[in-house]
């Protein structure tokens, strides 16, 4: 079987600054034409990893391959990669065409060919006929497209994007998420996109690597990360989740029976395997998994239930978020509430029963490990 060489491979790539390991043994393989995002909180090592791929930072150990060839000894300007920076780095004194043609001029391409290629790439990003205009005449979204055109005219194997939507206002950011994904499909080029914003990564990416403390915690599709997070960090970082600390009291197959410090009984599934009676655990349930009812319900010892007082109703257009205070434990619960349906009129102070199934409850070893460790 012939398998296509990935556009980008990192093989146990690490970067230390003195004794501090900013990136630890990161391995990844990105097939051609993939929108690959690296998602993680501030300081987790995303930029350092991107800068190593671009060639601006030398790895301490490991290898880096583009189209199957190591590029460790290749200087940044000779690597088949291009980079869109957060603040785009467009040249304000040059017109749009000169900005887009900049890299081609550096490469010594002749003027006629530069004009042809600039015209073609500007048309592909939906900015035909603007080459003579100043950069200052563009909107924020159009500037993004010029920044991408300036990279794509160089026909890189891999386009690196360093939080390019970070400086935009919310509405434009929402729009540009869709536009960026469309541009990536249109060019069919491998994009490696770093962000701390999970909604950006979830919407645009074919594959996402979740990074924490310099390491990849999990790589998968948006759905895999959301529905089957393999670590507590991923469960908490990707999407909204209610989180409880508990101790395991009993185990049957993958099913766990737990108790919180406040004495609440919980039931859930061992999400990463190997949990045992006595382990301290983090228990996660998504807000949309929690169901409400006016009456107390018999859930036959399989689920989780309680009664909550409505503390807040956060209206958010199509959905609302209900904040409940569990009357037995005092724990706060977030519940996603569709606008249509019988509970849309709930208001602060109302009492309501809630429940969720054990299959929708994912359990992980708590940070700090087993009791007594
Ligand atoms: P952000 O989203 O805030 O940009 P990040 O995930 O991109 O964060 P990095 O910029 O890669 O994180 O930084 C990772 C860690 O490495 C941080 O603790 C940072 O202080 C450290 N670091 C980065 N560059 C250097 C450097 N040149 N010298 C020393 N430490 C550095």
101 CB under 6 A from ligand 1?
no
CA atoms of 219 and 119, how far apart (whole Å): 38
Rounded average pLDDT over 104-126: 90
- Has domain 241-365 been given CATH number 2.40.50.100? yes
pLDDT at 168: 76
Cβ neighbors of 267 (< 8 A, separation 6 or more) are 255, 256, 257, 258, 301, 302, 303, 304, 358, 361
Atom of ligand 1 nearest to the CA of 17: 29
The fraction of the chain above a pLDDT of 90, given in percent, is 64
332 three-class SS: strand
3-state helix, strand, coil in the chain (%, to 5): 25, 35, 35
CA atoms of 114 and 340, how far apart (whole Å): 56
**Beta strands 35-39 and 61-66: pairing type?**
unpaired
pLDDT at 167: 72
Instruction: Write out pLDDT tens, residues 67-87.
Output: 999 999 999 989 999 999 877
Instruction: Write out pLDDT tens, residues 164-174.
Output: 887 777 888 88
pLDDT at 369: 41
- The encoded tokens of residue 187 equal 């060019």
- Which is nearest to 166 in space by CA: 42, 28, 35, 22? 42
306 CB under 6 A from ligand 1?
no
pLDDT at 301: 57
pLDDT at 129: 85
CA atoms of 37 and 39, how far apart (whole Å): 6
pTM of the model: 0.89
40 CB under 6 A from ligand 1?
yes
User: Among 2-16, 161-175, 263-277, which stretch is predicted with the lowest mean pLDDT?
Assistant: 161-175
Higher pLDDT pick, 12 / 295: 12
Over 50: is that where the pLDDT of 372 sits?
no
Mean per-residue pLDDT of the chain: 90
CA–CA distance from 163 to each of 40, 194, 196, 231 (Å)?
11, 6, 8, 25
Higher pLDDT pick, 8 / 341: 8
Q: Residue 251 C-alpha to ligand 1 middle, in angstroms? A: 42
Instruction: Give the residue, by CA position, lying nearest to ligand 1 atom 14.
Output: 45
Q: Residue 81 C-alpha to ligand 1 middle, in angstroms? A: 21
Radius of gyration of the chain (CA): 25
Over 60: is that where the pLDDT of 214 sits?
yes
CA atoms of 94 and 134, how far apart (whole Å): 7
- Which is nearest to 32 in space by CA: 216, 162, 206, 220? 206
pLDDT at 20: 95
In DSSP terms, 211 is beta-bridged to 216
Q: Residue 283 C-alpha to ligand 1 middle, in angstroms? A: 31
Could you state, in order of their start, the residue ranges of all structural domains in the chain? 8-233, 241-365
Q: Which CATH class is domain 8-233?
A: alpha beta
- Which is nearest to 331 in space by CA: 361, 359, 354? 354
Q: Residue 44 C-alpha to ligand 1 middle, in angstroms? A: 7
Instruction: Write out pLDDT tens, residues 123-165.
Output: 988 888 888 888 888 888 888 889 989 999 999 999 999 988 8
The fraction of the chain above a pLDDT of 70, given in percent, is 96
Higher pLDDT pick, 282 / 142: 282
- Which is nearest to 138 in space by CA: 147, 347, 192? 147
Rounded average pLDDT over 33-44: 96
**Beta strands 242-252 and 158-162: pairing type?**
unpaired
Angle between helices 96-106 and 111-124 (to 10 degrees): 130
């Amino acid at each position: 079987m012939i398998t296509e060489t990935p556009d980008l491979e990192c093989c146990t790539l690490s970067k230390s600054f003195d004794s501090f390991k900013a990136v630890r043994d990161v391995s990844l393989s990105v097939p051609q034409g993939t929108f690959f995002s690296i998602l993680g909180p501030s300081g987790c090592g995303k930029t350092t990893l991107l800068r190593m791929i671009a060639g601006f930072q030398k790895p301490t150990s490991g290898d880096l391959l583009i189209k199957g060839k190591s590029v460790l000894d290749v200087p940044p300007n000779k690597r088949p990669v291009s980079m869109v920076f957060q603040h785009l780095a467009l040249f304000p004194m040059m017109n749009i065409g000169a900005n887009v043609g900049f890299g081609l001029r550096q490469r010594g391409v002749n003027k006629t060919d530069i004009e042809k290629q600039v015209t073609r790439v500007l048309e592909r990003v939906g900015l035909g006929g603007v080459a003579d205009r100043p950069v200052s005449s563009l909107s924020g979204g159009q500037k993004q497209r010029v920044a991408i055109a300036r990279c794509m005219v160089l026909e890189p194997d891999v386009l690196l994007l360093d939080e390019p939507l970070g400086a935009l206002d919310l509405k434009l950011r929402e729009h540009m998420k869709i536009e960026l994904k469309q541009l990536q499909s249109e060019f069919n080029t491998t994009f490696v996109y770093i962000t701390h914003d999970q909604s950006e990564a979830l919407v645009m990416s074919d594959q996402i690597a979740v990074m924490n403390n310099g390491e990849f915690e999990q790589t998968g599709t948006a759905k895999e990360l959301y529905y089957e997070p393999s670590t507590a960090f991923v469960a908490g970082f990707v999407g909204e989740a209610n989180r409880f600390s508990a101790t395991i009291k009993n185990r049957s197959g993958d099913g766990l029976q737990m108790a919180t410090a406040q004495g609440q009984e919980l039931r859930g599934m061992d999400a990463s395997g190997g949990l045992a009676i006595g382990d301290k655990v983090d228990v996660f349930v998504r807000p949309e998994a929690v169901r409400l009812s006016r009456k107390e319900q018999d859930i036959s010892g399989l689920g989780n239930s309680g009664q909550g007082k409505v503390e807040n109703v956060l209206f958010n257009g199509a959905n609302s978020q209900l904040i409940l205070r569990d009357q037995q434990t005092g724990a706060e619960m977030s519940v996603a509430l569709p606008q249509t349906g019988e509970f849309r009129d709930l208001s602060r102070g109302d009492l309501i029963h809630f429940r969720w199934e054990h299959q929708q409850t994912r359990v992980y070893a708590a940070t700090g490990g087993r009791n007594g460790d």
